[in-house]
Amino acid sequence: MPDNIMSREPDSNQARTDADANRIEKARIRDAYARRTPHHDSYAAAIRPSREMIFRRHIQSNGLPSMDRLSLLEVGCGTGAEMKRMLELGVGPENLTGIELLEDRFESARAALPDACSVILGDAATVDLPDR
């Protein structure tokens, strides 16, 4: 093969470099996320009613299923606070799934939510989700 044509063969060094880069990035995200407090700040609390109103309007105006049949996935569900709000808005617990990277927050979410809600400990980029 001429020197100026790149090989299409997988490069094990490149695969190792990619795996290292993914591992480093996952650790960076985990560390940054762990430094955040699990409670919403006052700004988030102040805008919550507007967010809920916009959410409801979006559901109604886009022909999506009714709230009790809507399936939602929350990536980075933390302690489950937003999932609890979705339950309060009428989303059925069997239709709520949350993914959480940090074990302590996963445990808090699991304890705070009904058993019918699915809460998964893992990396959203690699977790295997059930079909719904």
Render 55-123 in DSSP notation, one character per residue: HHHHHHHTTPPPGGG--EEEES-TTSHHHHHHHHTT--GGGEEEEESSHHHHHHHHHHS-TTSEEEES-
- Which residue, chain included where needed, has tokens 């090989």? 7
Q: How many CB atoms lie within 10 A of CB 77?
A: 26
Please name which of 103, 54, 49, 116 lies closest in space to residue 77, comparing C-alpha atoms.
Answer: 103
State the pTM of this model.
Answer: 0.69
| Range in 56-60, 78-82, 108-112 with the lowest mean pLDDT | 56-60
Structure tokens at 78: 């933390």
For 85-112, what is each residue's pLDDT tens digit?
Answer: 899 888 999 999 999 999 999 999 999 9
